[in-house]
Structure 1
């Protein structure tokens, strides 16, 4: 089918998302329109859409089971304990590094980036109020750290990129460790310093309490058990050749953590909470799979390859650029990584890039433009720090710079290592 049809379908999906229609339905409608305008019959369009959904089904299963780990970490208060410990340990003098590191580590252990920011934000705003720091600069520190953690985590974007390339998840996570560290320091020592840090007009910041909710929080030692067990299980394959699928490792790590934190009574509510959060992503992935099927069966990827060739760009850039373009289209790291990896995996493998590096570059590329206003991340993170639309909009160039550094870091590391 023609690239024009796929582009019109994708553009329609974006327009419908901006107009506040459900992202899943927007993607499905865009897929139908794209297929028909691209030259397929109605039956052929539906077939291509369902084939696209079939390809994301393994990732959907893994993402749903990841809800066990995520739900337990959040509902037991383990995420709060871990973030507070980092911030308290590093102190107010290193507040930006503490915030970025706390958010990074929360994402690294499998917490969604928007949830990680929401978790750390009350502590950040409390410190910001005492030090007269702008909510915008506090938020960019958290977002930067979250993006760095997101590319080395068992989060949906990493799971689905690895799955579409048939690459080992732990190896894909490991490939981006150095770029993530570089991105962390770039956020703290470059991006933060480019922004005004103090509150000049003394605007009212969100009122936060310094004390925690009146509930029994676990100790730091027991809070770390769930992520540590998960990481150890995922690391067994590259370390000793024992392959434990994320579908098993993620819930086992969460359950071990709940038992060690003596949160038996909270296991079922935590699992229900995690399933609810992951179901939103799983449903989004189904919609993403439909438009991915259309794009994969169109000549759009050939257009992109021709454009890169005419621009005299290296074939290595196909992976990060496709991740960036698809994240811009969907304003989502997960959907962007899904579209890019499902549409370009065969092409990337065919030019000689390994499955691990192809998945890693698409994953980091998907952080470049995943924060645009037609996505939920833009509004959720702005709302938690009480930024209006205009204030939140001003952060986009800084976020994009962080994403570019992450994507470039992975691409350069691949070139050096090969």
Structure 2
């Protein structure tokens, strides 16, 4: 496969050391493999110190050597570089460490602002610290005791005791799932729950709530509207499920997040626009990942922990090809399998409104989310008083 967006990030943003710019400033210079590998090695060493654990030596050597080879291929061949999926994963690790699109571990409902990889984003994220903490507390891991890794995706609090996730995550935690006429048919597996802790080092243990029932699901897309190249993706459908949680005496539910609405007179449903800075919070790295989770390869203990990844919207509502309902947006924040159900949050203005529900992507190409301004009527129909 070609180097794709990873190549563009390395040659464009990482060379300039900043975020997106409207003017590319001419042809980008080739990446400096030595400098980028040094940054990657330094980031691994910092994580070893921070996590109090040594990276697997064999995995570390494979990552460094693989990244060196992939970077040299990009430096020599440019956009014509040919890379396999492991090469792309190694380049993504470089991007994560050089500050372009970092993957930041959530700890105590925030992140380590001193991490070198966070440098380009630390000021913007710190500016909204109270709002960001509220968002991080509202994001939970969908636990499934019967699954290989013990979880299936991400959910987040949209109302008191009510969470939103993807329909395909609900399918994974159910038996005989179906959604005839927009209603849910099937039964939840025993023991499925949402864990709003699940941070590096364990996080708070008193934030787990069992899933009580399904309040509603998004409509299935018309079969003829199925994406021609990406399995199980249909922009005519709404990959969404709303779940009610079981209360626990003495344990408050997380504060719900604010959601951008299509009927907001102030924004007129146009907040999720191209180029807007965003951040994604969720639990990347499930067994369904098509791109390897390099951090999990190095540190076994980081599988299924909460992470924050900043980026920008690459397409706003109405701009995504084949989206006739104008309820799809795309973003370039780093994601993996397991990120399904993550929220995409506005980083500008108040920095706290949820713009989208991440549901799918093509590795190193595009990440798709349902723009919730476009899905406001569907949400209002299943959430009492919303």
TM-score by length of 1: 0.28
Higher normalized helix content (fraction of residues)? 1
Using CA pairs below 8 Å that are at least 6 residues apart, which structure has the higher relative contact order? 1
TM-score by length of 2: 0.30
Higher normalized strand content (fraction of residues)? 2
